[in-house]
Amino acid sequence: MLQFFTTDVKMRFYLKKPKSKTPSKIEMKVCYNSITTKIICKGIKVLPELWSQSHQRAFVSNILSVLDNHNNTIVNNIINDYETKFNEFLGLISANPQLSVTLHAELKKHFDMGRKPIHKQLQVNIFEEMRR
């Protein structure tokens, strides 16, 4: 039986296309035993120039427009949800060490929930609010 330490499992967020001029999807990468698993955070994108790789968050600042701040706040909240879900996953693996053998498969099952894209009605309401 292999030893398993939750500190050996590393998780980071990256942009799928960091040099793009258009909004890029955000990926969560989990590394364990030199194997990387990519999980695309479904439904969220951010402009690469508004992304901080060191903080793994979208910028929110009073220098940015209201719309950029609003969108980046949504992105950061979803990233927080993914981090919470990842911590729950580590708790599950800690409670059931036999699952650590198939960690990457279990990880994909656990995160299969994905994110549904923001409903179009919600997008319309945001733009109507911005016009007022």
**pTM for this prediction:** 0.75
What Rg value do the Cα atoms of the chain yield, rounded?
A: 17
Mean pLDDT in order along the chain per 10 residues (132 residues): 71 91 90 80 86 91 88 90 87 78 76 51 48 53
Alpha-carbon distance 8 to 113, whole Å? 24
Please give the pLDDT value at position 122: 44
User: What local confidence, expressed as pLDDT, does residue 117 receive?
Assistant: 47
Distance (Å, whole) CA 21 – CA 28: 21
Amino acid at 13: F
Cα(18)–Cα(91) distance, rounded to whole angstroms? Answer: 32
Measuring CA to CA, which residue among 34, 36, 37, 69 is closest to residue 50? 69
Q: Which pLDDT belongs to residue 42?
A: 76
Give the pLDDT score at 64: 86
What pLDDT does 48 receive? 92
Dmax over Cα atoms in the chain, in whole Å?
A: 62
Strand ranges (E), the chain: 10-15, 24-32, 35-46, 51-52, 57-58
